[in-house]
Amino acid sequence: MITSRRGFLKAASAVPALGSVREAGRPAAAQRVSPQIRDSSVDPWIEIDTARLRDNAAEIHRRVSGRPILAVIKNNGYGTGVVNIARALERLEAIHGFAVVKLHEAVTLRDAGITKPVLLMGPFDVRELRDVAARRIMPMVYTPIGDALDAVAGRAGRPVTLHVCVDTGIGRVGVPVRKAAPLFRDLAARRSVRIAGTMMTFTEDAAFDEEQLRRFEALLQELKANRINPGRRHAASSFALFQHPDGFLDMVRPGMAIYGAYSEPQFRTMGIMKLTPAVSLKARVAYVKQLEAGDSAGYERAYRTDRPVWIATIPVGHADGVPRSAAQGGRVRIGGASYPIVASISASHCIVEIGSEPRVNIGDEVTIFDGRDGSRPDDFAAASKSSVYDLLMHLHADLPRRVI
């Protein structure tokens, strides 16, 4: 059984191409795949550089003058695996805790032994509140569920720790700011509740963000006047780290910046923070061949050549997270050289143009994106006319993840 990428290279050199290979002396029906094999040696994979994750956290901590960081690791840790990221960051003093959107992610963190605070920012059924509290997961609340909290706290024998979400204008979730004070009064009056934090989300409209923050601060002043402790106040996402230092408040909750990508291209040249991508997507060349003049490749003959040209097939496609639009500008790196993605990207394959000479071989490592300038995730997304958020968050959950 081939158990390493190096093993694959050795095996690949012994056969002309990847495909139907039969073990010598054994009929096909007698061949069986070991149940221990989960991923083929030629499947694309994700690499997570934990040192870079920690470096990015340190850079954020410097930017926010030592304020604690609530690390947002939602949507499967931005494609990297929620537990991988939490384990890499939990021991850092700068990290206050973690925020996720799906309940199963919060439960997964606790089941993996993560002990720092976990904030569930997504919806949950009131019937799930008992399990949430039992695992010491902090729910984000914005509706009058005080009676349910009383019942859960009574069974647990301790208050339910939570954060309150206030809608200052994004209109997504959160108690509307003009109706927030009564909810706070109700929660603060209950012995079953401990308010650990109060949060809002910027719309990322520069002019309106200022109004949002004004509304939030007015509410906080009202709570102070009523002797209601809002806990840690937080509003700043990765975007706000560059745009709204007045919104750093008591704690920040970045997501994308932790992974070393800039949420907007212009942030990279502002000199505010130096972020290094900690996520790479790689694969291996599955097939190399020469097209003659007049040949085509891809669905609907998306790529046609008027000259002899070599192409390579890479076993990674839009089902794995490579956007279809990457065929109109995206490039990959093989053996230190950069090659354009051509034709059309199918669910499990893309094709790159190598040129007039066969410069690559089956089994060569392919970097779709990594931490190098020119092939960063934000570079690849920009070249593909896509968003770095779409790129990372759409990495398929079944891709192997290698923690470095």
Contact predicate 391/323, CB 8 Å: yes
Closest among 34, 21, 23, 46 to 362, alpha carbons compared = 21
Q: How many CB atoms lie within 10 A of CB 404?
A: 10
Domains along the sequence of the chain with CATH: 49-269 (3.20.20.10), 279-403 (2.40.37.10)
**pLDDT value at position 25?**
41
Query: 91 exposed, middle or buried (CB, 10 Å; 0-12, 13-18, 19+)?
Result: exposed
**pLDDT value at position 230?**
98
Contact predicate 388/38, CB 8 Å: no
Contact predicate 45/365, CB 8 Å: no
**pLDDT value at position 43?**
86
Tokens representing 315? 């076993």
Type of residue numbered 324 = R
338: left (phi over 0), alpha (psi -120 to 50) or beta: beta
Q: Cβ contacts of residue 93 below 8 Å, gap of 6+?
A: none
Q: Measure Cα distances from 233 to 129, 166, 175, 195, 241 in Å.
A: 23, 11, 15, 11, 15
**pLDDT value at position 10?**
40
**CA 138 – CA 274 distance, rounded (Å):** 32
Write the DSSP string, 49-73.
-HHHHHHHHHHHHHHTTT--EEEE-
Rounded average pLDDT per 10-residue block, the chain, 404 residues? 37 37 40 52 91 98 98 95 97 98 97 98 94 96 96 94 98 97 97 97 94 98 97 97 96 97 93 96 97 95 96 97 95 96 96 96 96 92 93 93 93
